[in-house]
A and B are shown apart, each in its own frame.
Chain A
Amino acid sequence: MKFEGLPSAVYISVWFDYYTVRDLPKEEAAEGSDMEVKGIDGKLEKSDSTSADEISHLSIDIGGSLIKIVYFSTNSKCSTNDEAPTLSKERQEVPYGDLNHHILSGRLYFVKFETSKIEDCIKFLSSKKLQQCGAQCHHSHAVDKIKIKATGGGAFKFADLFKEKLGLTLDKVEEMESVVTGANFLLKAVNHEVYTYIGGQKEYVQIDQNDLYPYLLVNIGSGVSMIKVDGDGRFQRVSGTSVGGGTFLGLGKLLTKCQSFDELLELSHQGNNRVIDMLVGDIYGGLDYSKALERNDSSHDVRFGKIGLASTAIASSFGKAISENKELEDYKPEDIARSLLRMISNNIGQIAYLNALRFGLKRIFLGGFFIRDHAYTMDTISVAVDFWSKGEAKAMFLRHEGFLGALGAFMNYKDESTDSMPPQLVEQQPAKRSSSCIVDRIHNSTRVHENENGATDCRLRVSSSFKIYDEVKRC
């Protein structure tokens, strides 16, 4: 690899952690109730709107329901963190000999807004000093020349709005490409990015980078895209379904009066889908099912053995809502939410598996904001994949599930002028706490990561060079 033309690579030390509104200090929560920030460093930036963060790069993914933002900030506050000493030390060790690599110390932030509350997003952005980005991109401080990378349908829809309100030009990055780039990056660069979720057990998967491709990337946003990825920049959208996160929230809102995704997910925890779903057992005799078994044992074995359906399998989602003389009000919102979640998760898992099968893909990675690390969702999808593949395929989830597109767009800065930010963020250091990986019980929490000092200690190097990977391997 030749670096002559490249001014520098930037090494960044980043802690990943997850924050939600709930974790925010009260004043923060009040300010943007639906904003969710995934920040670094186990601590959220307190002074979002006032601090003089220097955001050098920002990318935005404007989806149908959510706006996802990834930005890099050189805020020095990180050094005040408890863990800073460690980090500092590590950072000092960073240079691997390439003297011309400039190290930029900073953090990568992950923020999201609801698309319907785009005003909040604009307010948020206007509080940030995005000029830095523009400056870096174009050596110009002219406001109207500031470009940020953007992807998602909203990049087209809201282009004028951003121009008008923020003077920002949205530099559109193709959506699928972004998602794939983001996923490729995460899969290659970030350890403990991938995990399976089976029977309530979360298990991290080590990705062999030499045997990564091809894989199926299932990005579950409002809708679902299924993308066959053959390599960097080589991918094809092979399928998708309109039954996705938007359907969950949309139908859920209509059925339960829940106002937010999280509320709905929370509800689903406490629900029992048997009240609403028609189970195989309901059709084959309902409560008298066991009696039916006694009466006709052999036949039962033949039947269920042949079809392979357990009596608890859902025969028809919401099928029980047919036969009972009950109105919507007579059902518990919890049960409805649960039934809905299972229906959608199961369906996605099935279609994903069928597509993986079709193209002979062994790995299925699921991303997108629908999953949200939600145990039951993941469990259902996993079970669906497991069921239909007869155990041969496994659903794997990405920790940065929701930010694939935004991350991909972020990576896209490489294509800009020569002094641009290098494209690859590379996590160089495995997480220290791999041994203490958090394994939640399904029903305890929706957030796997939200407690403890679950911060994953890692350094990201931002570089334009693929050579970095070699270095990473050396690490």
Chain B
Amino acid sequence: MASPTTKDQSHIEIDDINEESQQITEKDIVEKDMAPLPGSSIHRSSSRPQLDVSGAAIQGNFEEKDPAILLPNQTDDISHLALDIGGSLIKLIYFSRHADRQVDDGRKRKVKERLGVTNGSRRSYPILGGRLHFVKFETSKINECLDFIHSKQLHCGGMDPRCWPSDAPPSENAVIKATGGGAYKFADLFKERLGVSIEKEDEMNCLVSGANFLLKAIRHEAFTHMEGHKEFVQIDQNDLFPYLLVNIGSGVSMIKVDGDGQFQRVSGTNVGGGTYWGLGRLLTKCKSFDELLELSQRGDNSTIDMLVGDIYGGMDYSKIGLSASTIASSFGKTISENKDLEDYKPEDISLSLLRMISYNIGQIAYLNALRFGLKRIFFGGFFIRGHAYTMDTISFAVQFWSKGDAQAMFLRHEGFLGALGAFMSYEKHGLDDLMVHHLVERFPMGAPYIGGNVHGPPLGDLNEKISWMEKFVRKGTEITAPVPMAPPATTGLGGFEVPSSKGVLRSDASKLNVGVLHLVPSLEVFPLLADPKTYEPNTIDLSDHGELEYWFTVLSEHLSDLVDKAVASEGGTDDAKRRGDAFARAFSAHLARLMEEPAAYGKLGLANLLELREECLREFHFFDAYRTIKQRENEASLAVLPDLLMELDSLTEDMRLLTLIEGVLAANIFDWGSRACVDLYHKGTIIEIYRMSRKKMQRPWRASERKNNIRKVVDDFDAFKGRMLGSGDRKPQPHKRALLFVDNSGADIVLGMLPLARELLRRGTEVCKVYQYDPSLSPSIYAERFRFQRSTIQNFMQVVLVANSLPALNDVTAMELPDIVAEAAKHCDILRGAAEAGGLLVDAMSNIQDGYKENTPSVPLMVVENGCGSPCIDLRQVSSELAAAAKDADLVILEGMGRSLHTNYNAKFKCDALKLAMVKNQRLAAKLVKGNIYDCVCRYEPAS
């Protein structure tokens, strides 16, 4: 346990860092553990400068504890609903508007002013964020679908989400967009049951606009599937058209798509999903599509199909390129044998049937692609539904007939093309302008709700939850099974099914493939990325099974500790414990699911995994598990900050920079995401650890030793120093604006990054001072200079702290930072002036220091949120605030493992970039820097 500074006197033992330490007493630990500080939230502290709290809307929500309402989304407004009523399935998409958290906020306004961003420059969207949900029902059980719509009041949405009062009765003229044949068939039923009219949308049109949207807006949508290996394909949006869209429903449609709204149905076949299921039912007595698919996995089609080898006595017909195992005639072997249907294994029949149909579709699709010179073939529709063997067979057919020239690609939202398209046919659906970076996909577990209100008991302990789930699933069974997709009524539920690990081939592989799409129009691509197209956030590729296993183990082991923290953060109530349990189960289920099929939720990187954990915590209403710890560490660190600053100020410029970088690296040891470090915390106080860490830190930084050091520590400090201080007489051009991506709370931010920020501010101030006073100048010239100086300062030296929007582990958030800075500013003029100039000290401070402001123009220190709630950062999706701040920035400093090692280690920037982190994981150290745990990375890359 980390402890407040009052425990300084206790002795510590930090094996890995310091042999001289002594053991901490049991009592100390107990005391620390027993001393939670409920209600001492940093935001409530009146002793601190007044915060602008308007932005804390979410924080306020976080504090609410209503044990009875534990499920998310209960306040969602339903605004749009679209249906695709097919021959066997009803696909339903609905949009729920999310509570707008873009509350106007004084700090943000100030920041925007500083950054020269006006609200007008932001595009205005018909919808300001929300969620797209994907649900399926069996057509034959349409009443269940109607019930679902009714209970969630989905049909009341109408055309304009903002005009719709949540409790108003459905208007007389309510219209639902729908496509698929059933839109005709069930129009009367909808009118009768729900009082709404169905507005039919052209099916092909819907398929195409749905596919176009998915291919453009969702990053990990299209993938190839060869020999059981799934690989996501990066779609170049400028080179998307034309393509062939093959929609495999009951029958198969093949559509040549030339652009938005430009398409032509060029072919199709009546041998499709309906054929598979229909023939399969007749031949095997299977009760569901799922069952039939499941059967096929255990089948051996060589007992049914006549293979080339059968005809040629085991030989290949190599002259025409047919191997012995090629199917010469599907079901051909059943001709000659005196066997009845009962004599064949249903498994074999199912597989044979599946191969026949998949292969045939693949072939016809390829021939059509060839005919129109189309390079890309996308397959969608319910027949595929993520079934590995189906995809493999189609891929094989395309590959075989094209001799490798063409590749079959599949879509993750395959079954929802039509429904999405119908959704898009609303005049103001708001999806038109959405780009890839505006969408975040989440895979909620604990969203078992029917209707607009929460039904059933709250999520509790495992048994309670599971029994609830079982009950729900049983009810859901009536709704959805036996359907091809057989998902529970919401897409998020599948995760609770214990995955039946049966190798790579899973029939239900698509169950969790589709999450809830969060539309966040304010997200943007970080403008300083050298090449956003090739940018890959993750350093560690989890498609390597070894890596995957390792990180899964790490996360699993860390889980119980995390749950403890989370429960404690919520006051350790019974309710919190229940939720903690549920979280653990849910996250474990996610892990198990991903372990089985890493690409189930899209391309999987470590960053995604870490973010999933945070999302999962939030889902169970743990909004800030480390709140207490962060507070204590901040306080403890702030207490020793003045001493540190004094020490720093006594150093020369050269030494100071080195000491600061060392300090950043040393302080980065405080990371609750690192197992090794958590172990340390149990043994020492924050300041002790920091000192030990720094002491150790000095070794690789001694110039004489650095080169001979066996460890391959990444150390570009000299290059960075050269850039900052110049060499000899050459003074380098100072940076205009520095973005500092900060990591952890406590020592990391207070003793590490803040002093570094202060140094940058000081340098900026000194640049300003050049202009400040020159007695030889006439007053008029001075005034001109001064004006120039003001603008120069604003244009040239700004320091922006970039922090998380939402809590993740013990990372400091943008919400907390102003507080911390304000506290630090009490002891430091530089920080105070800068914070004031940057709008961080809104009320009290600026009044007090009025005179100061007049005399010394200050370099502003600002805080922006990064748009993330993860320990890592995907720079393709950052807040518009950060994107705006990045516009004139010419120095990026990424700090901490999550943001500079796990992600972005290899990222290239248009500007100078410094990546600082202590490697707190042995495996990562070995992999990245061929070093050991606690080695440090100081990677400096000048603008490329």
Binding site for B on A (CB under 8 A): 63-65, 114-116, 152-154, 156-158, 174-176, 221-223, 237, 239, 241-247, 249-251, 253-255, 257, 276-278, 282-286, 288, 292, 295-296, 299, 302-303, 306-308, 313-323, 327-328, 331, 336, 343, 346-347, 350-351, 354-355, 357-358, 388
Q: Give the residues in chain B near A283, CB-CB below 8 Å.
A: 86-87, 180-182, 185, 250
Q: Knowing A222-B306, A316-B278, say if A347 contacts B360 (CB, 8 Å).
A: yes
State the CA gap A343–B320 with chains docked (Å).
27
A sample of 15 inter-chain contacts (CB < 8 A) reads: A176-B319, A242-B330, A246-B306, A246-B331, A282-B87, A283-B185, A306-B202, A306-B204, A308-B265, A315-B87, A315-B251, A316-B87, A322-B87, A328-B341, A351-B367
Give the distance in Å from the alpha carbon of A388 to the alpha carbon of B371 in the complex: 13
- The reply to whether A244 and B329 form a contact with Cβ atoms under 8 Å apart is yes
Residues of A with C-beta under 8 A to B333: 246, 250
On whether A246 and B330 interact (CB within 8 A), knowing A237-B320, A343-B275, the answer reads: yes
Q: CA A350 – CA B368 in complex, angstroms?
A: 11
- The chain B residue sitting closest to A159, CB to CB, is B313
Q: How far is the CA of A278 from the CA of B356 in the complex (A)?
A: 19
Interface positions, chain B 272-323, Cβ under 8 Å from A, are: 272-275, 277-279, 281-283, 285, 304-306, 308, 310-315, 317, 319-320
Given contacts A64-B310, A347-B269, 19 further A-B pairs with CB under 8 A are A222-B311, A223-B306, A242-B328, A243-B329, A246-B329, A246-B335, A250-B329, A276-B278, A283-B185, A284-B181, A303-B202, A306-B265, A316-B87, A317-B274, A318-B277, A322-B87, A347-B360, A351-B363, A354-B364
The answer to whether B275 and A317 touch across the interface, beta carbons within 8 angstroms, is: yes
Is B359 an interface position by the 8 A CB rule?
Answer: yes
Asked if B344 contacts A254 (CB within 8 A), the reply is: yes
A314-B305 contact, Cβ under 8 Å, with A239-B401, A303-B202? no
Q: Check A331–B202 contact: CB distance below 8 A.
A: no
Cα-based distance from A319 to B181 in the complex (angstroms): 14
B279 CB contact (under 8 Å) in A65, A295, A321: A321
Contact A222 B275 (CB under 8 A): no
Q: Which chain B residues border A388 with CB–CB below 8 Å?
A: 267
Within 8 A of A (CB), among B705-758: none
Most chain A CB within 10 A, of B88, B139, B181, B319, is at B181
A323 to B289, CA, bound (A): 11
> What is the minimal beta-carbon distance from A247 to any residue of chain B, in angstroms?
5
Measured between beta carbons, the chain B residues less than 8 angstroms from A247 are 329-332, 356
| A219 to B200 Cα, complex, angstroms | 44
Closest to B326 in A: A242
- Cα distance A243–B88 when bound, in Å? 25
Query: Complex Cα distance A327/B278, Å?
Result: 10
CB-contact partner of A243 in B203, B337, B360, B371, under 8 A:
B360
If A246-B329, A283-B250, A351-B363 touch, does A316 touch B275 (CB 8 Å cutoff)?
A: yes
Given the interface contacts A153-B308, A250-B304, does A354 sit within 8 Å of B367 by beta carbon? Answer: yes
- Nearest CB of chain B from residue A454's CB, rounded to whole Å: 29
Q: Which residue on A lies nearest to B344, using beta carbons?
A: A254
Beta-carbon contact of A354 and B271 below 8 Å: no
Output the nearest chain A residue to B315 by Cβ-Cβ distance. A156
Question: In the complex, how many angstroms separate the beta carbon of A472 from the nearest chain B beta carbon?
Answer: 32
- Shortest CB-to-CB span from B319 to chain A, Å, is 7
B792 within 8 A of A: no
Residues of B participating in the A interface, judged by any CB pair closer than 8 Å: 86-88, 139-140, 180-182, 184-185, 187, 200, 202-204, 249-251, 253, 265, 267, 269-275, 277-279, 281-283, 285, 304-306, 308, 310-315, 317, 319-320, 326-337, 340-341, 344, 349, 356, 359-360, 363-364, 367-368, 370-371, 401
**Which B-chain residue is minimally distant from A354 (CB atoms)?**
B367
Bound together, the chains give a CA A306 to CA B264 distance in angstroms of: 9
Chain A residue nearest to B320 in the complex (CB): A237
Tell me, rounded to whole Å, the shortest Cβ–Cβ distance linking B54 to chain A.
50
- For residue B285, which residue of chain A has the nearest CB? A327
Taking the closest CB of chain B, its distance from the CB of A33, in whole angstroms, is 15
Closest Cβ–Cβ distance, residue B179 to chain A (whole Å): 10
Contact A157 B202 (CB under 8 A): no
Least distance between B779 CB and chain A CB atoms (Å): 79
Chain A min CB distance to B208 (Å): 12
**How far, in whole Å, are A253 and B340 apart by their CA atoms in the complex?**
8
Chain A residues closer than 8 Å to B356, beta-carbon distance: 242-243, 247
CB pair B204 A278 closer than 8 Å = no
Complex contact A288–B278 (CB within 8 A): no
- Cross-chain contact B184 with A355 (CB below 8 angstroms): no
Residue of B nearest to A251 (CB): B331
State the CA gap A277–B275 with chains docked (Å).
8
Residue of A nearest to B357 (CB): A243
A250 adjacent to B335 (CB under 8 Å): yes
| A-B pairs with lowest CB-CB distance, top 3 | A246-B332, A319-B274, A153-B311
- The docked-state distance in angstroms from the alpha carbon of A325 to that of B332 is 29
Chain B contacts for A255, CB-based, 8 A: 279, 282-283, 341
Residue contact A321 to B281, C-beta cutoff 8 Å: yes
Chain A residue contacts of B336, Cβ below 8 A: 65, 114-116
> In the complex, how many angstroms separate the beta carbon of A235 from the nearest chain B beta carbon?
10
Across the two chains, which residue of chain A brings its CB closest to B277? A322
| Inter-subunit contact B367/A321 (CB<8 Å) | no
Contact between B332 and A322, CB atoms less than 8 A apart: no
A250→B202 CA distance, assembly (Å): 39
Is B312 a contact partner of A318 (Cβ separation < 8 A)?
Answer: no
Minimum C-beta distance from A331 to chain B (A):
7
Q: What chain A residues lie within 8 Å of B271 (beta carbons)?
A: 243, 316-317, 343, 347
A222 in contact with B328 given A316-B272, A318-B279, A343-B275 (CB within 8 Å)? yes
Contact B329 A278 (CB under 8 A): no
Give chain A nearest CB distance to B263 CB in angstroms: 10
Residues of A within 8 A of B267 (CB): 350, 354, 388
Task: Check B330 against A331 for contact (C-beta < 8 Å).
Answer: no
Contact of B330 among A115, A243, A350 (CB under 8 A): A243
Collect the chain A residues with CB atoms within 8 Å of residue B313's CB: 153-154, 156-158
Contacts of B182 in A (CB 8 A): 283
Tell me if B334 and A251 are in contact (CB < 8 A).
yes
Query: Which of B86, B87, B314, B328 meets A64, CB within 8 Å?
Result: B328
Residues of A within 8 A of B204 (CB): 306-307
Contacts of A250 in B (CB 8 A): 304, 306, 329-335
Closest to A261 in B: B335
Pair B371/A354 contact, Cβ less than 8 Å: yes
Contact A328 B278 (CB under 8 A): no
Q: Across the interface, do B285 and A222 meet the contact criterion of CB distance under 8 Å? A: no
CB A267 to nearest CB in B, in angstroms, measures: 15
Complex CA gap A251/B86 in Å reads 27
Query: Of B187, B329, B371, which is within 8 A of A223 by CB?
Result: B329
Q: Say which residue of A237, A253, A313, A318 sits within 8 Å of B282 (CB atoms).
A: A318
Bound CA span A10–B282, Å: 56
Chain A residue at minimal CB-CB distance from B283: A254
User: Does B202 lie within 8 Å of A351, measured CB to CB?
Assistant: no
Q: Which A residues lie within 8 Å of B200 (CB)? A: 296, 299
| Residues from chain B with Cβ under 8 Å of A321 in the complex | 277-279, 281-282
Supposing A247-B331, A283-B250, A302-B202 touch, asked if A351 and B282 sit within 8 A by C-beta, the answer is: no
- Which residues from A are CB-within-8-Å of B277? 318-319, 321-322
**B275 and A328 within 8 A (CB):** no
Kindly list chain B residues whose C-beta atoms are within 8 Å of the C-beta of A307: 203-204, 253, 265
Residues in A neighbouring B86, C-beta threshold 8 A: 283
- Are B306's CB and A64's CB within 8 A? yes
Q: A157, B312: Cβ atoms under 8 Å?
A: yes
Cα(A133)–Cα(B236), bound, Å = 66
